[in-house]
């Protein structure tokens, strides 16, 4: 994976998080600090886990597809 592709993935994930932050800010005029940290934690966790899950599934499917290649 090149630096450029990693940069594009990081940019897409940050834009996703920014869109959710803007939507939460527009919906909740007064958000507690605890709720803001809870939302940030879960977004960070999912943004960490989803690419790793996709990578693991891709590795698994690569072995299956290689049999037919």
| pLDDT tens column, 3-27 | 998 889 888 878 888 888 888 888 8
Query: What span, in angstroms and rounded, lies between the C-alpha atoms of 43 and 35?
Result: 12
25-51 per-position pLDDT tens digit: 888 888 888 988 888 898 889 888 988
pLDDT value at residue 4: 93
Q: pTM for the full model?
A: 0.60
Query: What span, in angstroms and rounded, lies between the C-alpha atoms of 17 and 47?
Result: 9
Handedness of CA 4, 9, 14, 16 (dihedral sign): positive
Judged by DSSP in three states, 29 sits in: coil
Confidence of residue 53 (pLDDT cuts 50, 70, 90): very high
Query: What span, in angstroms and rounded, lies between the C-alpha atoms of 55 and 65?
Result: 15
């Amino acid at each position: 994976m090149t630096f450029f592709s990693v940069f594009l993935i990081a940019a897409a994930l940050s834009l996703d998080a920014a869109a959710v932050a803007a939507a939460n800010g527009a919906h909740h005029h007064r958000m507690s600090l605890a709720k803001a940290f809870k939302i940030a934690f879960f977004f960070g966790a999912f943004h960490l886990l989803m690419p790793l899950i996709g990578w693991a599934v891709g590795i698994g499917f690569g072995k299956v597809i290689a049999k037919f290649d």
